[in-house]
Amino acid sequence: MIPITVVDVRDAEDLVLEVLRSGAIAQGKMVKRFEDAFAAISGTKHAVAVNNGTTALVASLQVLDLKPGDEVVTSPFTFVATLNAILEAGATVRFADISRDDFAIDPDRVAAAVTDRTKVLMPVHLYGQTADMGKLAPLAAEHGLHVVEDAAQAVGASFEGRRAGSYGLGCFSLYATKNITTAEGGVITCDDDTLADRLRVLRNQGMRARYQYEMAGHNYRMTDLHAAVGVPQLEKIDSLTAARQRNAKRLSEGLAGTPGLELPAVQPGREHVWHQYTVLVGPHAMLSRDELAAALTEKGIGNGIYYPKIVFDYECYRGHPLIPGASVEDFPVAASVAAQALSLPVHPALTDEQVDTVIATVREVLGA
Ligand SMILES: *Cc1c(COP(=O)(O)O)cnc(C)c1O
């Protein structure tokens, strides 16, 4: 069996033991060490660690002081946490369809979705490649919007040399299967001193100094135990990313020309960190996406469907007062991608032989 992800955090043993033995296990100096390393990687002045990626998104919206009726424009093709975070923050959600090239929000569609109530643009850097920030950042500036990046899958990715998470408030996830993990965890990156300060206070019950409360806060803290799991990975992030990039390149070379298969492309000027390697199984392939997924599973090739439906296309969101007028028919690109997307193993633990087995098996079952 070749799994779709492998979690390997063995190199954190010493640091985790150090924290355990110290008795100082909650948020403390290991979290600070993690934050400093993360800020350096993101090219931002600040990195604020929190307890998960969803929290990172919620906290980012909370420090922007949105009022009821304020709108956030985001992608309809994303993990459900993007949507849930906006709802949790009490903002109204507007969606803009994605582009088939990068699976991220399409700048032309964003322009059409912006109203005078729009306060935030929340692009999702899906699968490890940034959205088209060259167009989205100026668009946000033109309309006076805050940028909150859902960079959960994109640690280390960049657009024309500028890192994901450096365009406003950058929200990262450190969940077990993400490129960098602390088991559960999240980070918010930014250059703005005031917002970073507010995030740190918000994270700790709104408390600046002991029992001095400045806002109604929450407990969003990360622990030193979790931070210790992540620190060694940050130290070797370049080699982890390089391994993913090497695997992706090998997959693309090996799968080129497979009938009916559309391979993922790195857009010019962008550095892709390959959280997922996602192909589109088109109508001319010998098998449907679901048939291909089943055939690969049967042959021991791990695979995943991220994501099978438009994010709001579930009973629990229908008629939601904060998702007014959202209709599946308005997002044809997201709908077709959701029906065709299939992710193949690309993680750093793969050997060349395993990558070749993935390629050979996909080609075989598609009759190539
Ligand atoms: C993983 C993920 C999140 C949520 O992160 P958690 O750490 O699981 O809370 C948000 N958005 C996207 C796109 C993700 O992939």
Q: Give bridge partners of residue 225 from the DSSP assignment.
A: none
Q: Tell me, what's the pLDDT at 283?
A: 96
- Contact 307 CB / ligand 1 (< 6 Å): no
CA of 186 to the centre of ligand 1 (A): 9
Is residue 176 a part of any domain in this protein? yes
> DSSP string spanning 147-163?
EEEE-TT-TT-EETTEE
Assess whether 205 and 271 both reside in one domain: no
CA of 22 to the centre of ligand 1 (A): 31
334-364 pLDDT tens trace = 999 999 999 999 999 999 999 999 999 999 9
The values of phi and psi at residue 74, to 5°, are -145, -175
Query: Which CATH number does the domain housing residue 286 bear?
Result: 3.90.1150.10
Is residue 5 a part of any domain in this protein? no
Assess whether 306 and 343 both reside in one domain: yes
Is residue 2 a part of any domain in this protein? no
CA of 54 to the centre of ligand 1 (A): 6
- Contact 149 CB / ligand 1 (< 6 Å): no
Is residue 84 a part of any domain in this protein? yes
Closest atom of ligand 1 to 57 CA is: 10
The values of phi and psi at residue 158, to 5°, are -150, 160
Assess whether 302 and 231 both reside in one domain: no
Structure confidence at residue 207 as a pLDDT band (50, 70, 90)? very high
Assess whether 107 and 148 both reside in one domain: yes
Under 8 Å between Cβ of 97 and 76: yes
Q: Domain range for residue 284?
A: 237-365
Classified as helix, coil or strand, 145 is coil
Assess whether 157 and 265 both reside in one domain: no
Beta-carbon neighbour count of residue 67 at 10 Å?
Answer: 9
Assess whether 202 and 250 both reside in one domain: no
- Contact 181 CB / ligand 1 (< 6 Å): no
What tokens were used for 106?
């399409």
Q: Which of 235, 257, 278 is the last residue of a domain?
A: 235
Q: Which of 208, 235, 262 is the last residue of a domain?
A: 235
Assess whether 281 and 133 both reside in one domain: no
| Count of structural domains, the chain | 2
Contact residues for 130 (Cβ-Cβ < 8 A; gap 6+):
102, 104, 123, 151, 154, 157, 158, 159, 164, 270
Q: Tell me, what's the pLDDT at 196?
A: 98
Return left, alpha or beta for 103; rule: phi > 0 is left, psi -120 to 50 is alpha, else beta.
Answer: left
Q: Which of 235, 270, 302 is the last residue of a domain?
A: 235
Structure confidence at residue 136 as a pLDDT band (50, 70, 90)? very high
- Pairwise CA distance, residues 2 & 48, whole Å: 35
Q: Tell me, what's the pLDDT at 204?
A: 98
5: amino acid identity, one letter:
T
Structure confidence at residue 108 as a pLDDT band (50, 70, 90)? very high
Closest atom of ligand 1 to 78 CA is: 13
Residue 2, burial from CB neighbour count under 10 angstroms (0-12, 13-18, 19+): buried
Q: What is the mean pLDDT of the chain?
A: 98
Structure confidence at residue 368 as a pLDDT band (50, 70, 90)? confident
- Pairwise CA distance, residues 230 & 180, whole Å: 7
- Contact 173 CB / ligand 1 (< 6 Å): yes
- Pairwise CA distance, residues 36 & 191, whole Å: 13
Is residue 108 a part of any domain in this protein? yes
164-175 pLDDT tens trace = 999 999 999 999
CA of 164 to the centre of ligand 1 (A): 15
Is residue 4 a part of any domain in this protein? no
Assess whether 110 and 20 both reside in one domain: yes
Structure confidence at residue 3 as a pLDDT band (50, 70, 90)? very high
CA of 68 to the centre of ligand 1 (A): 24
- Contact 82 CB / ligand 1 (< 6 Å): yes
- Contact 255 CB / ligand 1 (< 6 Å): no
CA of 208 to the centre of ligand 1 (A): 28
Q: Tell me, what's the pLDDT at 304?
A: 98
245-291 pLDDT tens trace = 999 999 999 999 999 999 999 999 999 999 999 999 999 999 999 99
Assess whether 245 and 339 both reside in one domain: yes
- Pairwise CA distance, residues 14 & 140, whole Å: 44
Assess whether 243 and 225 both reside in one domain: no
> DSSP string spanning 218-238?
-B-PPPHHHHHHHHHHHHTHH
Assess whether 128 and 160 both reside in one domain: yes
Is residue 1 a part of any domain in this protein? no
